[in-house]
Amino acid sequence: MSPNPDTDELPTHSQSVKAQLRLREMILAGELPSGSRIAELTLVDKLGVSRTPIRTALMKLEQEGLLESLTNGGYAVRTFTERDVSDAIELRGTLEGLAARFAAERGCSPDVLAQAKICLDQIDQFLSNGTLNDDAFSAYVAHNQRFHALLAEMTGSAVLQRELERVIGLPFASPSSFVISQANSAKARDMLIIAQDQHRQVLMAIEEREGARAESIMREHSRMAQRNLNEAMRSPDLQHMPNVRMIRRKT
């Protein structure tokens, strides 16, 4: 009997996605240290899937930039330089600035704009407390990612949305990459309040159809992530941040 693609390929695809997500978690959590070679057979035992979906997952993670292929075959966990991460953040800021300008100049869906305002209202509730615990920071991350996703949706451009999804998928380029790393920092809440004000300002610029101003605000907004990177890299608690340990400091 010939294979049925509807029944034979879907389980393999599902296993590949599962393996990809789990491997990404392991890398960012430091379970697979920076520079370490990936052993396929070990992953078969650890993840409980066959070698085929694991190989597919490894290829995907290389495309994401978390792994690098070795000349003699196989993969190793990448080590990033501060410049690598800084460039990724700068690229995100450039694209989000363009997204904000498109939204302002072309106009955006009133429904999406309303959802973005609700999202910011929810963030305000977290920031109204004098101090933020780990749960509050985690909630902030979720709503912050939601806001940035809505900003991309406001463009009405499938091309730009696709490119934003790609760049946000780069290691450490997410809008909230370093927020949790600094949850116990005395400056963390103050920085989030400034970032939240920039969120409000860019929505106002979009509503008022001020494209250049909207773009400028989002470019400046990415500078907060650059500052968070600098703070995280020089934190005395660096050893407790496995994901940040993947980044090689400037010399």
- Over residues 53-82, the pLDDT tens digits come to 999 999 988 887 789 899 888 899 888 788
Mean pLDDT in the chain? 82
Q: What letters, b where the CB count within 10 A reaches 16 and e where it falls short, cover 29-58?
A: eeebebeeebeeeebeeebebeeebbebbb
Q: What is the pLDDT of residue 10?
A: 42
- Give me 10's structure tokens: 């879907």
Map residue 199 onto helix, strand or coil: helix
Kindly tell me the sign of the dihedral angle through the C-alpha atoms of 27, 182, 136, 139. negative
Best-predicted range by mean pLDDT (30-44, 91-105, 233-247): 91-105
Is it the case that residue 28 has pLDDT exceeding 90?
no
Q: How does pLDDT run across 131-180, given as a tens digit for each residue? A: 777 677 778 888 998 999 999 999 999 999 999 988 887 767 878 766 54
Q: How does pLDDT run across 118-137, given as a tens digit for each residue? A: 999 999 998 887 777 767 77
Residues in the chain: 251
Confidence of residue 216 (pLDDT cuts 50, 70, 90): very high
Which residue segments constitute the domains of the chain, with CATH numbers given? 5-78 (1.10.10.10), 81-248 (1.20.120.530)
- Tracing tokens 């997204």 back to the chain, one arrives at 99
Please give the average per-residue pLDDT across 223-251, as a whole number. Answer: 67
Please give the average per-residue pLDDT across 228-238, as a whole number. Answer: 68
Confidence of residue 4 (pLDDT cuts 50, 70, 90): very low
Please give the average per-residue pLDDT across 100-105, as a whole number. Answer: 97
pTM confidence score: 0.71
Is it the case that residue 188 has pLDDT exceeding 80?
no
